[in-house]
Structure 1
């Protein structure tokens, strides 16, 4: 199978137009971008995909060894872009996909020339003066829940991500989490929440926008501000919404922020 088939990739929009690639976060899928991505299809080539083990990606694309680190997901994106003949794209990555995008831009700057990092965190665990928002025991408890209770972790995690115990965003996230195979979810969660990409950030060379939710218990403002300060010249936009997925809870503001960033950076790329 091709990489596009494995990742359930779709390409829409006019041929030859600037390319925007939307990459979802942990436990989600490309459907999460439906309030934002279609708005770009008139004047951009829009690429959507499901990461291995997520959404409607083919199970054959998931390799426990390859995907034991974010570099495996980075290489999947590189393979996909090369297969599609795409380069110099704008990569919009949510949550853990923000760090996947960072790794890809550093490794292959020819493929990615602008980054939009939505609710990013370079490290979720507090250490020293760094505030990632979670203690080591917090993460241990979450990962233990994922590994031993295949039907019980979706509700608390979807509440955290949505920023509310009820509502359409919470319901959608819970349903998406429930579709993820337990063994895939457990490994991806471990890679996500125990990762530390702080040292990678200064090596980013592309214009970058950090989009931060004002009230995010998964990746608090301190995490987003760290990413902003560590990436040379990064721009920062605070979205007045709750939760870890502003493209679901505040799509109009998220769309406007991305549009503004693309307009400002178009002349300098």
Structure 2
């Protein structure tokens, strides 16, 4: 299989530079990184890709059983790294991709040497002594709404997820990204995302890690960032002066600066 075509892989920046892989979250694609990638490309080799079922990835490669688990998305990421012969990678994962990065690093530590977790959440549902931000009933309602009327759900939820009501274009962009995703594939990815519990996987992280959170985020509240930081010994927690769940769009300069500072300190 042509992995580059399957995952719509694009490469920019310094051909001989340290490698940064940027991985998107649910309902998104690599275009979500377009405001951050140019700053990184000045010093690094930047690799972007789309998970199968998202963006311009090859939809004929879709396998529901594979993508009903975060392991399937980790396999995509690692196969991209293998295809390009990448080692010593800094994996920057947004939202659910932060946990995908954790799984990928555990499976192939020779390829992934550093993790940047942007607005991560190992579990979205509240539990005993854990606040994920949603009750089980909240998630059931969210998934029911998504599965019954995906386009309507996208139009209603994207502005909430993005926040920044004073910049409606950001919410409109996320809505368009959600709506461009195949509804049946989106339903699978949504269930995989919002029903996941990756808290135990955090214990496997041994590489330098940056936890990057926003000051206000309805999807991944700050209690979650604190939890992830505490669960990964030696990790660094940075709180951006940004609102919403997508700082790579709402605060791209600060996001890029935090990533660059972390890589420089970790190398």
Which bracket does the TM-score occupy, shorter chain normalised?
over 0.9
Task: Report matched runs for 1:71-90 at 5 Å.
Answer: 71-90=71-90
Residue 173 of structure 2 corresponds to residue 172 of structure 1:
yes
Aligned CA-pair RMSD: 1.0
Q: Do the aligned residues in 2 keep the contact of 1:125 with 1:135 (CA within 8 Å)?
A: yes
Kindly report which structure 2 residues correspond to 1:91-110, keeping only aligned pairs within 5 A, or say none: 91-110=91-110
Correspondence for 1:36:
36
CA distance in structure 1 between the partners assigned to 2:157 and 2:106 by the alignment: 30
SS in 1 for 2:32: helix
- SS of the aligned residue for 1:151 comes to helix
Aligned to 2:152: 152
Alpha-carbon distance in structure 2 between the residues aligned to 1:252 and 1:150: 32
Which segments of 5 or more consecutive residues in structure 2 lack a partner in the other structure? none
TM-score of the superposition, structure 2-length normalised? 0.97
Which SS does the other structure have where 1:202 is aligned? helix
Q: d(CA) in 1 for partners of 2:150 and 2:264?
A: 44
CA contact (8 A) 1:212 1:237 kept: yes
| 1:19 and 2:19 matched | yes
State whether residues 7 and 61 of structure 1, in contact with CA within 8 Å, keep that contact through their aligned partners in structure 2.
no
User: 112-121 or 247-256: which moved more?
Assistant: 247-256
Moved segments of 4+, more than 4 Å: none
Give the Cα separation in 1 of the matches to 2:122 and 2:24.
Answer: 16
Verify: 1:222 aligned to 2:219, yes or no: no
1:213–1:239 CA contact under 8 A, matched in 2: yes
> Unaligned regions of 5+ residues in structure 1, if any?
none
Aligned to 2:61: 61
Instruction: For 2:236 and 2:250, locate their aligned partners in 1 and report how far apart those are by CA, in whole Å.
Output: 21
* TM-score (normalised: structure 1): 0.97
